[in-house]
Amino acid sequence: MGIIRYLLTPVLLVTLWSAGWIFAGDVLVPSPHSVLFRLISIMTDGESLGNIAATVFRGVFSLIITYAVSLPLGILCGLNKKIMESISPVVTLSQSCPPVIWIALLMIWTGLGNTVPIAVAILTIMPVVFFSTASAVSSIDRDLYSVTKVYRIKKTGIFTGIIIPAILPSLTGSISYSLGVVWKVVATAEFFGSADGIGARLYWSFRMLDIPGLFAWALVIIIIGFLIDTVLIRVIRERIRNFMDGSK
């Protein structure tokens, strides 16, 4: 039954796709087998693999920068309300600004290249990581800090024994969100503001009316997202859950 459940969705999607191809024709909906052949061609072509690698690099680099900045800043703001009141309006402004506006501005300021997709991904993900971290830290019972003073616990002990366990549940959620969103944001930014990457290949497939190529590159993004959700995110959740259980 488990295998049937996992196969039901792809079989249904392929059936609907085939029906769309039969009724709409190749001009609007390419056949599943033509897209499959194009997908195989992409996965065996060095230049296409280079475009996939460029998108993956930008996504990973964006996540590293986002967490390197958002986690310390979120912890600091969670501990200090005055700093939170000063910084949160700027972060809220970034969160409320649609990615397409950042793409347009960054294209004018920096041109094409790595800067646009990386910066847009950071600006999109950072507010979520920042606010979830700050909220988790600010919700810590203040009496715990009083206890640490009585027992003269060092700041490193406070950080590892109180703050880290407090932010782990929110960190699990923010990591799941970030890993699920970053590839979509990067590909969207590449579509408008990059000469290479999966998004750029989608753009040129669109410009050349290469419908099988458009579908194939879209499948690449879907496959990356599916693998991340079914493998990486689950592993990260399990590791964090084991760490929390071990720290109790």
Q: Per-residue pLDDT averaged across 92-104, rounded?
A: 83
* SS3 state of residue 156: helix
Between 240 and 221, residue with greater pLDDT: 221
Q: Count Cβ atoms below 10 Å from residue 45 Cβ, excluding itself.
A: 11
pLDDT tens digits for range 39-93: 999 999 888 899 999 999 999 999 999 999 999 999 888 888 888 888 888 888 8
Say if 51 falls within a structural domain.
yes
Alpha carbon distance 247, 49 (integer Å): 42
Q: CB within 8 A of 147, min separation 6: which ones?
A: 153
Residue 119 has pLDDT above 80, yes or no: yes
Between 62 and 222, residue with greater pLDDT: 62
Alpha helices in the chain, H assignment, sequence order: 2-24, 32-43, 46-79, 81-96, 99-110, 115-138, 143-150, 155-158, 164-193, 198-207, 211-227, 233-247
Say if 69 falls within a structural domain.
yes
Say if 24 falls within a structural domain.
no
Please report the pLDDT score of residue 217 as a whole number.
93
- Name residue, tokens 């699990």: 172
Nearest Cα neighbor of 134 from 184, 182, 95, 181 is 95
Please report the pLDDT score of residue 146 as a whole number.
66
Please, is 137 exposed, middle or buried when counting C-beta atoms within 10 Å of its C-beta (0-12, 13-18, 19+)?
A: buried
Q: CB within 8 A of 50, min separation 6: which ones?
A: 196
Say if 23 falls within a structural domain.
no
Say if 9 falls within a structural domain.
no
Joined together, the tokens standing for residue 52 give: 């996939």
Say if 46 falls within a structural domain.
yes
Q: CB within 8 A of 61, min separation 6: which ones?
A: 118
Say if 170 falls within a structural domain.
yes
* Backbone angles phi and psi of 5, in degrees to 5: -65, -40
pTM summary value:
0.82
Please report the pLDDT score of residue 108 as a whole number.
86
Q: Per-residue pLDDT averaged across 162-184, rounded?
A: 83
Residue 115 CA to its chain's centroid (Å): 17
Residue 118 has pLDDT above 60, yes or no: yes
Residue 213: CATH number of its domain: 1.10.3720.10
Number of domains in the chain: 1
Please report the pLDDT score of residue 222 as a whole number.
85
Q: CB within 8 A of 143, min separation 6: which ones?
A: none
- Name residue, tokens 């056949």: 31
Q: Per-residue pLDDT averaged across 143-159, rounded?
A: 68
> Which residue range(s) make up the domain with 147?
30-247
Please report the pLDDT score of residue 242 as a whole number.
65
Say if 116 falls within a structural domain.
yes
Give the side-chain half-sphere CA count within 13 A for 150.
5
